[in-house]
């Protein structure tokens, strides 16, 4: 699909997806629907990217760079409950001390998000239904929560404490592994300021955060 020229065009296109199944969208794009979700974890997100005309590629920038809008699908189980945490971006282990909240990748990605709820009640990808998409600017109070978590993580990482950070930390943002498997290593900074090799990590939004966002708009 071509790139939407402005925000209004993107929203219009996104709203057309409401109520449709992933199978219908895939057929429209002449794409096969994977049978096994375990081996197609990112398929839904990539399908929605294609139908909305998000710029392909794996760059560390929002999906619609000219609009500054990030696209996120949000899995919703029965009763309107967010069923998974939301990956935001990789943790830049070696450059964390150079960033401020406002210059961070996390802020760039979350300032404007087009949330696309996916009803995952059906176990088969084909029959899963798209909810009503929601374009959302980051409210000030949510930003304050994210900024606080981010700044605490930034300090720990700058002090070389990345290997002591667990998913238990952070009230709305958390850091968890982000790799094909647990033996993968990337460059980081150790406790003595020395270069180390450590597991790549990502920033994730806790469920409570995304649940709150959709609860503002949908009665459950």
Q: Can residue 53 be called a binding residue for DNA (CB under 7 A)?
A: no
Residue 216 has, within 13 A of its CA and on its CB side, a CA count of 13
User: How many Å apart are CA 137 and CA 107, to the nearest integer?
Assistant: 11
63 binds DNA (CB under 7 A): yes
Stretch that binds DNA, among 7-15, 32-40, 142-150, 155-163 (CB under 7 A): 32-40
Query: Smallest gap, in angstroms, from Cβ of residue 197 to DNA?
Result: 9
Q: Which one, of 155, 77, 63, 71, lies nearest residue 116 by Cα?
A: 71
Among 67, 147, 173, 178, binds DNA (CB under 7 A): 178
Stretch that binds DNA, among 18-26, 51-59, 129-137, 154-162 (CB under 7 A): 51-59
Give the number of C-alpha atoms closer than 13 A to the C-alpha of residue 12, restricted to the C-beta side: 7
Rule CB under 7 A: say whether 210 interacts with DNA. no
Nearest to 176 by CA among 205, 139, 138, 151: 205
131 near DNA, rule: CB under 7 A? no
Q: 14 to each of 72, 92, 115, 142, how far by Cα in Å?
A: 12, 31, 10, 24
Smallest distance from the beta carbon of 212 to DNA, in angstroms? Answer: 13
Cα 162 from Cα 165, distance rounded (Å): 5
- Smallest distance from DNA to CB 21, Å: 15
56 binds DNA (CB under 7 A): yes
Check if the beta carbon of residue 210 is closer than 8 Å to that of residue 82: yes
> Where along the sequence are the contacts to DNA (CB under 7 A)?
37-42, 44-46, 48-49, 56-60, 63, 70-73, 75, 84-87, 89-90, 92, 105, 118, 120, 166-168, 174, 176-187, 199-200, 202, 204, 206-207
């Amino acid at each position: 699909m071509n790139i939407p020229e402005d925000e209004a065009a993107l929203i219009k296109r996104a709203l057309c997806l409401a109520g449709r199944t992933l199978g219908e969208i895939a057929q429209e794009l002449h794409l096969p629907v994977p049978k096994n979700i375990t081996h197609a974890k990112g398929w839904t997100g990539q399908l929605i990217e294609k139908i909305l005309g998000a710029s392909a590629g794996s760059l560390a920038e929002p999906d619609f760079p000219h609009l500054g809008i990030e696209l996120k699908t949000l899995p919703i189980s029965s009763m309107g409950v967010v069923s998974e945490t939301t990956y935001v971006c990789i943790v830049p282990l070696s450059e964390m001390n150079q960033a401020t909240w406002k210059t961070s990748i996390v802020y760039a990605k979350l300032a404007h998000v087009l949330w696309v709820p996916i009803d995952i009640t059906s176990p088969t990808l084909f029959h899963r239904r798209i909810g009503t998409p929601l374009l959302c600017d980051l409210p000030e109070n949510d930003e304050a929560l994210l900024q606080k978590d981010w700044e605490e993580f930034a300090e720990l990482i700058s002090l070389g404490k990345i290997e002591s950070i667990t998913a238990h930390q952070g009230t709305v943002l958390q850091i968890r592994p982000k790799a094909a498997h647990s033996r993968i290593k990337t460059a980081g900074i150790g406790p003595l300021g020395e270069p180390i090799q450590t597991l790549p990590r990502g920033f994730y939004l806790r469920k409570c955060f995304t649940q709150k966002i959709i609860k503002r708009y949908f009665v459950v």
